[in-house]
Amino acid sequence: MQIGSIDVNKFIAENAILDDKVDHRQKFHIMAPVGLINDPNGFCKFKGKYYLFYQTHPFKAYHGVKYWAKLTSENLVNWEFNGIVIKPEFWFEKDGCFSGNAFVENDKMYLFYTGNLWKDGREFEVGEEYQCLAVSEDGDKFEKLSEPIIGLPDFSEFTPHLRDPRVWKHEDKYYMIIGAQKINEKPAIMLYSSEDLVKWNQEGILLDSTHGEHSKGYMWECPGYAKINGKDILFICPQGMTYEGNITKNRHQSGYLIGNIDYEKCIYHYDYHNYNLLDYGFEFYSPQIFTEDNGRHLCIAWMGLPYEDDHPTVKDNWIHCLTLPTELIMKNEKLYRRPIKELELLRGKHIPIDLTISNSFKADCFELLMEFDSNCDVNIDLRCSENMDSLTHLYYDSHSNTIGLKRINQRHLYDGSRTIKLSDAKDKRKLHVFVDISSIEIFINDGEYALTTRIFTDKHDIYNNISTNGNLTLLKCWELG
């Protein structure tokens, strides 16, 4: 297949998957019409509409040459697919248009992204990476600059890995951070500045891998930035984490650091012991953070991980999806990630659950709200088969004060369990759970912790069970979709 000669939007229209004809297609999560979806990009609001882009390889369900697809929404819940808008065209991006973000100013949308060249033409092996820019005045047509805005790094200090720009404005200057890798194969974050969003000057290394749990990887991808409660929050995706002391057991993570940037000296002052994760589940990566004009900080991520490519959906020529949109808030020097209010638009019929009559209810896609005392044990089995040999088990153990999540007897999955030790401060425990056809998103104590996971049970596995040794003070459930 000569990809460069194909009308990619025509290909997508002709090969789009009919959701009711294949297994595991979601009801209310963003998926690609066909092929692979991974990093969300360019999350912004422009001329009254929300915009979201994502990386995709539409031709097959694997990581090939990447394009940017565009979505628009009025309410962050119902998204319209608008086709491919960024595709490989110039010499510096011929092997793919990688991740980046959007910056909106003066009625223009600036899309910053990374152009990729494979090494000696060998697929997926990074040879050169350039930072690129496309500009739009209407949100539909994007005019690319014909040359990169930032060239190759100094190879005496860095490897070719330099990607995923994130841009913001501070006082009268624009700043950009980019994920980098030093020649000792340790990660770093580079800082650049600009007066006009086109010509960029290298300020230096803002953050490197000298200290901390987050330094155990080999690359920080998809860096992000937000100003929250007066603090400069840096979001990083450490790749190649060790398993020792690794609470998620994920080698590729999404975390954040809280500190302050000294722009003049190019120094990020932070407590390297205070590295926290945005998610403690199985599949959550490359979060895209967008701050609205009203100060609300929104987050959407890829519900997948690098090198996790053997899902059962591949046989139907699609793989992966995006998470639900969430809001980030700061409490006690920690970010809470909770579902946005707009998700209530998904609610359908109320599902009555009376545990004095039955512990079970049938539903494939639903939202579940629970509140219970900290001395109350709770066990929840989600999307079970009728004989209970395949399910996802969520529990709270009051003795150890832990939340646990287990995927039981589901093929094509990696590690089978996750456990979180909760703080002792709260008298009540809260669970907020969203179940779709092939995913579960769990929010604990109003977003203090979150666990995101894909599930691949049979379409007939719609049995759900709740058991407890105490009284629940809140139990509500709605059909979704």
Q: Which of 7, 20, 23, 39 is catalytic?
A: 39
The single residue listed with the structure tokens 């930072």 is: 131
DSSP label of 322: B
Which is nearest to 374 in space by CA: 425, 304, 433, 435?
425
Q: Confirm whether 23 is a catalytic residue.
A: no
Return d(Cα 88, Cα 94) in angstroms, integer: 5
Return d(Cα 326, Cα 336) in angstroms, integer: 10
Return d(Cα 237, Cα 285) in angstroms, integer: 7
Burial group, residue 365, by CB count within 10 angstroms (0-12, 13-18, 19+): buried
- Residue 406's CB is within 10 A of a number of other CB atoms, namely 15
- In our burial notation (b when 16+ CB lie closer than 10 A, e otherwise), range 46-56 reads beeebbbbbbb
Structure tokens at 444: 């604990």
233 phi and psi angles, rounded to 5 deg: -95, 125
Assess contact for 380 and 394: CB atoms under 8 A: yes
Which is nearest to 185 in space by CA: 148, 140, 216, 224?
216
User: ∠ CA(137), CA(143), CA(149), 5° rounding?
Assistant: 110
Which is nearest to 392 in space by CA: 357, 349, 440, 354?
440
* Three-state helix/strand/coil letters over 268-285: EEECCCCCEECCCCCCCE
Active site residues: 39
